[in-house]
Amino acid sequence: MLRKAFIVCLLAATSGMTSLPAAAARKKADRIPATRVQDLHYGDVLFQTFIGEDFEALTRLEAYSLWQQMPHHKGEADLLAGGLYLQLGMHNEAGRRFETLLGPEIPASVKARAWFYLAKVWYVRGYYDRTIDSLGRIEGKLEPAQEAERVHLAANALMHLERYDDAIALLSGWTSRSTWMQYARFNLGVALLRSNRLADGAQFLDAVGAQHSRDEEMLALQDKANLALGFAYMQANDPAKAMQSLERVRLDGPQSSRALLGLGWANAALEKYDDALTPWLALRERNLLDAAVQEAWLAVPYAFSRLGANAQAAEYYEQALTSFGSEQGRIDASIARIREGGLLNNLLGADDANSPQRGWFWQLQELPDAPESRYLFPVLASNDFQEGLKNFRDLAYLGSTLSRWDENMVVYANMIETREKAYAERIPRADALLAGGATEALASRRKAVEGRFNDIIIMEDVAALGTAEQRAQWQRIAGIEAGLAAEPDSEETTAKRDRLRLVKGVLYWDLRQSYRERLNRQRGELKSLDAALAEANRRWLRVEQARRTAPSTTGDFAARIDALQARMTSLRAKLRDAAKAQSDLLADIAVAELETQKQRIADYELQARFALATIYDRAAESPRPAPAPGAGTP
């Protein structure tokens, strides 16, 4: 949806084509004058863009611009190029083009949407100062939904820049029913907690956590707000307030495990160990992969030990040690598989790197069915890993593009070889044709035809322009006439001559009637003949030129192909290095997460062994509680 919205906004800025009644009703200052595609090459770029082939569209756009094939759409093409760079993740180049192209001639509403989408990209890539700058360039207000998201985006960027007072001022003066309002309050509240500003942060988080909603998305956000506030109160040694927030978290929500853990620690802090066991025992039955569940495996025997039930505490500690040992072995196996390079193959194995949706719009939709996936939910969902995965996928796409172009280079080389062979075969015939003087012979024949035509006009030889049948009849009459002239005069001969004159007169009358029409037709035929001869001369000259230049142009094409192949070889090596570095980076991020989980389990295991040893040591002594098993934090 984001990609589609950006394309619509961008093409509205470049083409200005609008036909909807609502668009027609907008203020005149909010519209771009309607234009139409005047250059075929620009239409080709638009077609590639609409079908989602952004890389191909940008490649053609830059090539057509270099060859000056889009003179009527230069500004529009530059703006479209900025958008395509943006979609392909080349944010610096896109930002540079937008800053230079979104000038005063573009309507404010179009510029506002363009800067809004650019700000979203800067935010995703972590350029928070540029996010603030792009949002500051928006004049006026956007549509209500986008305006709410804009304020949320600005507040988050300010928080990342640790400008909390500015973020508070922004959100305090903003009222909206949009869900973005709740997200902004939540993010600001968490940021304030991390800055040790509990009172300020609690104000925002409590507003989010106490709202009434049936929307699943908002309910999940409520749970996160209550959980964060509850643990903040726990760290501030206020377990009573912590319980009030934690009890608002749903038992069937994704935050329920940590809420149960925190609720147990809040009761334990009030020395209500019986009450603490209730959430901890329920939590202990859940998946051991959850850090909260792992801590519950220690919290339960700790509570039993505080209640004096040492036998039960020891039993639960033994079970925890067995489970922790097995889990560490599975984590070690997952780390080994990741180091062997299996992580990215599993993540992208079912994904088509050549699909149209690439760049910053793409996201990993499904996790692979691999053992390590269950340990990596948090890291795979993180922005840093997702961005790195996008970059790796784009590198894979560029590699496949270079391979496809490599195949094209082979085809082009075969075409040149075929052309050279055809040239070698045709050159003798071309030389013979050029040496035959065909154009001179045709010109001579045309001159003779013109002379004959002029004689017809001067002599008014009407029979010469008759049909073939009429000319044959005329010739036959002339022959008979000559024969009768040689015969002696007699009454019979005179009668024959009179009949012949009558036939000749009738034929002459027919010829004379159509003489002018046939004369004009012949003049037209001569003009057509002249045009044909002129075209023949032009083609003759092109043949002569091709005869002289074909070897050199073929050599130029071959040299260009060789240069391109060398360049692609260099680029392929750079891509391999970049892909290897990106793969190693992602593997390091994943392994670091697994190492953290392994270390946490090792710490829990050490605490369990120490607590178990303490229980055994006090078995012969007076009972005293085991030390608390550690975290009690998110």
pLDDT of residue 367: 58
Q: What structural domains and CATH numbers belong to the chain?
A: 1-142 (1.25.40), 152-279 (1.25.40.10)
63-119 tens-digit pLDDT: 999 889 998 887 778 878 888 887 777 777 887 777 776 777 777 777 787 788 888
Average pLDDT, the chain: 81
Q: What is the pTM of this model?
A: 0.62
- Any idea which residue has 């780390």 for tokens? 335
Cα gap 138→109, rounded to integer Å: 9
Which of 442-446, 546-550, 585-589 is predicted least confidently? Answer: 546-550
CB-based contact 359:87 (threshold 8 Å): yes
Distances 569 to 394, 414, 563 between C-alpha atoms, Å? 18, 19, 10
- Whether the per-residue pLDDT at 590 is higher than 70: the answer is yes
**Average pLDDT, integer, range 376-398:** 78
pLDDT over 90, % of the chain: 20
Burial class (CB in 10 A: 0-12, 13-18, 19+), 124: middle
- Whether the per-residue pLDDT at 472 is higher than 80: the answer is yes
- Whether the per-residue pLDDT at 21 is higher than 60: the answer is no
pLDDT of residue 633: 42
Which of 65-74, 200-209, 491-500 is predicted least confidently? Answer: 491-500
pLDDT of residue 485: 81
Q: Indicate the SS3 state at residue 627.
A: coil
Which of 272-281, 342-351, 529-538 is predicted least confidently? Answer: 342-351
Query: Which residues lie closer than 8 Å to 266 by C-beta, 6 or more apart?
Result: 230, 234, 239, 240, 242, 243, 246
- Whether the per-residue pLDDT at 271 is higher than 80: the answer is yes
**Average pLDDT, integer, range 540-547:** 76
Distances 424 to 12, 144, 252, 416, 539 between C-alpha atoms, Å? 53, 70, 80, 12, 20
Residue with the bigger pLDDT between 480 and 278: it is 278
pLDDT of residue 382: 75
Residue with the bigger pLDDT between 130 and 92: it is 130
pLDDT over 70, % of the chain: 86
Using 50, 70 and 90 to split pLDDT, how confident is the model at 630? low
**Average pLDDT, integer, range 192-210:** 88
- Whether the per-residue pLDDT at 374 is higher than 80: the answer is no
Distances 167 to 92, 126, 187, 193 between C-alpha atoms, Å? 26, 17, 10, 14
**Average pLDDT, integer, range 534-539:** 84
- Whether the per-residue pLDDT at 620 is higher than 80: the answer is no
b/e code 403-415 from CB counts within 10 Å (16+ = b): eebeeeeeebeee
Using 50, 70 and 90 to split pLDDT, how confident is the model at 537? confident
b/e code 218-235 from CB counts within 10 Å (16+ = b): beebbbbbbbbbbbbbbe
Cα gap 183→224, rounded to integer Å: 11
- Whether the per-residue pLDDT at 1 is higher than 50: the answer is no
- Any idea which residue has 């922004």 for tokens? 170
Q: Where are the alpha helices (DSSP H) in 436-490?
A: 438-459, 468-486
